[in-house]
Copies of this chain bind each other. A is one copy, B any other.
């Protein structure tokens, strides 16, 4: 099976030694490497009746790659441990692996190794690596009062797709939302091409915009106020109206789009791909138009029911 998964794959140039020995060997030209790990569990982080194996593979890699990029690092490699029941179809593993390799390539990297074990439910554990190319790691702790808050990538569309799948009944014209839920498209390159100057704090949006900006606010010892008008998305509002849903709620609390949120020095002209959505202020917490939104908690790992629900980054 491991041979089958790796057959014909071409490793990225940074993978100096791929699968087949006790360990792999990956280049770290910067002399440091960024590392993050996420575990996805069947029927909790993904559902086989909602997503194809390729979709699941792409998403598993994308959410880890987004965490690497959120540090300002270029993805270099991934390793994947997969637990699956003994009766898992070969085609499922093939599809999962194809999706992983496709998304790893989109992120500029490849899959350097892994493990394959038997388990009762499907469990996918991805670890991702990145290289800072001599730059400083961009943490959540650098936001300063007066900075502009901006996002790159889409917000709320994955939450809309999840709402559609959960409701079961499908209004027309929802393909975009379903695709957003099944295969997030984090704008890796747009972020990495622009974070070299002026960005003071950076994160990916995986727990929901309010929750993830809350992490920046807490780590940086500041408050953040968002401008609701800047967050509006007419296409998402039209979709929400057809579902009697609240587009703002999707935008503010939906994770899994793996957009990026950052704070920028006010002297910096926001680069292409970034949309200003608010301001860093003195204080603590995150507000919208100056007011808190009670009950807008982000994703909680151990809350909720045992159905597929948005993933989280750490």
* A interface residues with partner B (beta carbon < 8 Å): 1-2, 16-17, 19-41, 44-45, 67-68, 70-71, 73, 77, 79-83, 86, 112-121, 123, 125, 127-130, 132, 137, 139-141, 202-204, 219, 301-302, 306, 313-314
Least distance between A75 CB and chain B CB atoms (Å): 11
Measured CA separation A280–B119 after assembly (Å): 38
Contact call B115/A38, Cβ cutoff below 8 A: yes
Interface centre among A22, A86, A313, A314 (most CB of B within 10 A): A22
Kindly report how many copies of this chain are found in the complex they form together.
2
Report, nearest first, the 7 A-B pairs whose CB atoms are least far apart: A125-B125, A28-B28, A23-B36, A39-B81, A22-B70, A127-B127, A41-B119
Known: A23-B70, A204-B22. A37 touches B302 (CB 8 A): no
Interface centre among A21, A31, A115, A141 (most CB of B within 10 A): A21
Which residue in B26, B82, B118, B120 is a CB contact (below 8 Å) of A32? B26
Measured CA separation A132–B17 after assembly (Å): 13
Write out the residue numbers on chain B whose beta carbons fall within 8 Å of the beta carbon of A204. 22
Least distance between A243 CB and chain B CB atoms (Å): 28
Write out the residue numbers on chain B whose beta carbons fall within 8 Å of the beta carbon of A86. 302
Least distance between A262 CB and chain B CB atoms (Å): 11
The residue on B at minimum CB distance from A126 is B81
Measured CA separation A266–B24 after assembly (Å): 28
The residue on B at minimum CB distance from A41 is B119
Contact call A22/B115, Cβ cutoff below 8 A: no
Contact call A22/B117, Cβ cutoff below 8 A: no
Known: A22-B140, A23-B68. A314 touches B36 (CB 8 A): no
Given A1-B302, A31-B31, A118-B301; 20 other pairs, CB 8 A cutoff: A17-B137, A21-B140, A22-B71, A23-B128, A23-B130, A25-B34, A25-B35, A26-B33, A28-B33, A33-B33, A33-B129, A37-B81, A39-B82, A39-B119, A81-B127, A114-B314, A115-B314, A116-B301, A123-B123, A123-B125
Known: A37-B80, A37-B81. A219 touches B20 (CB 8 A): yes
Contact call A203/B39, Cβ cutoff below 8 A: no
Measured CA separation A28–B41 after assembly (Å): 31
Interface centre among A36, A38, A86, A306 (most CB of B within 10 A): A36
21 examples of A-B residue contacts, CB within 8 angstroms: A1-B302, A16-B32, A19-B314, A21-B203, A21-B219, A21-B314, A22-B71, A22-B314, A23-B36, A23-B70, A23-B130, A31-B31, A39-B82, A40-B117, A41-B120, A81-B125, A114-B314, A115-B125, A118-B301, A119-B121, A119-B123
Write out the residue numbers on chain B whose beta carbons fall within 8 Å of the beta carbon of A39. 81-83, 115, 117, 119, 123, 125
Measured CA separation A37–B2 after assembly (Å): 14
Which residue in B20, B34, B302 is a CB contact (below 8 Å) of A24? B34
Known: A27-B32, A35-B26. A44 touches B118 (CB 8 A): yes
Which residue in B17, B67, B301 is a CB contact (below 8 Å) of A23? B67
